[in-house]
Amino acid sequence: MKIAILTGGGDAPGLNPVIRSVVKVAKENKIEMIGIKKGWAGLIELDHFPLKWEDVKNLHSEGGTFLLSSRTNPIKMENGIKRVSDNLNQVADGLIAMGGEDTLGVANELYKNGVNVVGVPKTIDNDLFSTDYTIGFDTAINITVSAIDRIRTTGKSHERFMVVEVMGRHAGWLAVHSGLASGADLILYPEEKYDVQEICEKIKKLKHEGQKSGIIVIAEGAKEKEGSHTTQNKELDAFGHVKLGGVGEKLSKVIEKNTGIETRHIVLGHLVRGGTPSAFDRVYGARLGYGAIKLVLGKKWGQMLTLRGTEIRSMSLEEGVKELKTVTNDYRDLIRQLT
């Protein structure tokens, strides 16, 4: 049996441990692995190579993706799904696709068109409703919290309020977890529109009570009550998403103007995607890799892996990508009490 593997969309710490585990377990089960470079672009261009244990055995501590990635979307191309299917059939009997809603959405379309495929959930946004955690989320939280802890000290030194912009287009899990873990004074996220006047009043109140510096965590997808997303430009990517960015800078300027309190902003952005994966993501990655080969051996095509509690389970790709997991009411209530 020959099985191909690819990673699509944004990179995430923990992908390489998954790849390493897949190749090792495949080797033990006499499965030949084929690496596909640059996500779906690699299957459009048929850019592939034999993936050996020697290539990946030291990947457990490396961030990013050994297989490279892209934002290519075959669904938007003329005969894109057919081209991917035909090319995959030339080199492998099935495919392991690792990614978020967009990548796994393509995987689901391939399965519906007769392709043998299984999915592995990956995104630092943790917004796949099918799983409690996605690969890379734990590492991204820890990097974000570490960065905020450092930012807090310089804010204290200069008696400034610091606005920290983090990733999160439609779901605010990264902002929520990192904000709660770092004791942020305000946490702003896409699921709850914010009022600039209320924010300014809160900061003036903190200042009046003697607090001379503070932290505001805001997700890139957060919106004002009467506003829309803050974007870098109007261009759309291959999956129809606008390029977000600038909401932290915008908010910091408004706060300083309306309160007279010195306020700075910082964008963590892609910083939290890189570097060494956490111990959790390394072990989780190993479990996902093992689980992916188990699905292959059981010919459970059209399934994706999930984490429920502490158990690795599976569900249909169709079900797994049907909706996003957004910040729940219990977290919203907690944020209201603690900020």
Query: Does residue 310 sit in the same domain as residue 212?
Result: no
Angle in degrees, 0-180, between the axes of helices 279-297 and 15-28, rounded to the nearest 10: 40
Whether residue 129 sits in one domain with residue 247: no
Residues 259 and 305 in one domain: no
Residue 334 lies in a domain: no
CATH number at residue 48: 3.40.50.450
CATH number at residue 262: 3.40.50.460
163 & 61 share domain: no
pLDDT at position 229: 73
Whether the per-residue pLDDT at 260 is higher than 70: the answer is yes
Gap between the Cα atoms of 19 and 60, Å rounded: 9
Q: Considering 125, 127, 138, 185, which one is annotated as catalytic? A: 125
What is the average pLDDT across 51-62?
96
Residue 182 has a pLDDT of 97
Dihedral pair phi/psi, residue 138, rounded to 5°: -60, -45
Enter the DSSP assignment of 8: -
Domain range enclosing 118: 2-136+277-320
Domain count, the chain: 2
Quick: pLDDT tens for 271-311.
Answer: 999 889 999 999 999 999 999 999 999 999 999 999 999 99
What pLDDT is attached to residue 243?
73
Q: Are residues 215 and 159 in the same domain?
A: yes
For position 32, what pLDDT does the model report?
Answer: 98
User: What are the φ/ψ torsions at residue 333 (nearest 5 degrees)?
Assistant: -65, -40
Q: At what angle do helices 137-158 and 279-297 cross, to 10 degrees?
A: 160
42: in domain:
yes
Q: Where in 93-139 does DSSP place strands (E)? A: 94-99, 117-121
The answer as to whether 326 is a domain residue is no
Q: In this structure, are 122 and 145 located in the same domain?
A: no
Print burial letters for 208-240: b (CB count within 10 Å at least 16), e (below 16). Answer: eeeeebbbbbbbbbbbbeeeebbeeeeeeebbe
Same domain, 56 and 86: yes
* 89 assigned to some structural domain: yes
37: in domain: yes
Res. 232: pLDDT tops 80: no
331 in any annotated domain: no
- Same domain, yes or no: 11 and 67: yes
The predicted-structure confidence for 103-119, as pLDDT tens digits, reads as follows: 999 999 999 999 999 99
- Its pTM stands at 0.92
Judge if 107 and 157 occupy the same domain.
no
What residue spans of 183-262 are helical by DSSP H?
Answer: 196-208, 247-259
Which among 327, 334, 333 is positioned nearest to 170, based on CA atoms? 327
> Which of 218, 247, 274 is the endpoint of a domain?
274
Domain assignment of residue 171, yes or no: yes
By DSSP bridging, strand 94-99 and strand 117-121 are: parallel
Four-residue CA torsion sign, 219, 119, 108, 86: positive
Query: Does 282 lie in the same domain as 268?
Result: no
Q: Is the pLDDT of residue 254 over 90?
A: yes
Q: Are residues 162 and 269 in the same domain?
A: yes
Separation of alpha carbons 159 and 254, rounded Å: 18
Residue 325 lies in a domain: no
Give residue 143's pLDDT.
Answer: 97
Question: Is residue 86 annotated as a catalytic residue, yes or no?
Answer: no
Is residue 16 located within the same domain as residue 109? yes
DSSP states of 293-315: HHHHHTT-TTEEEEEETTEEEEE
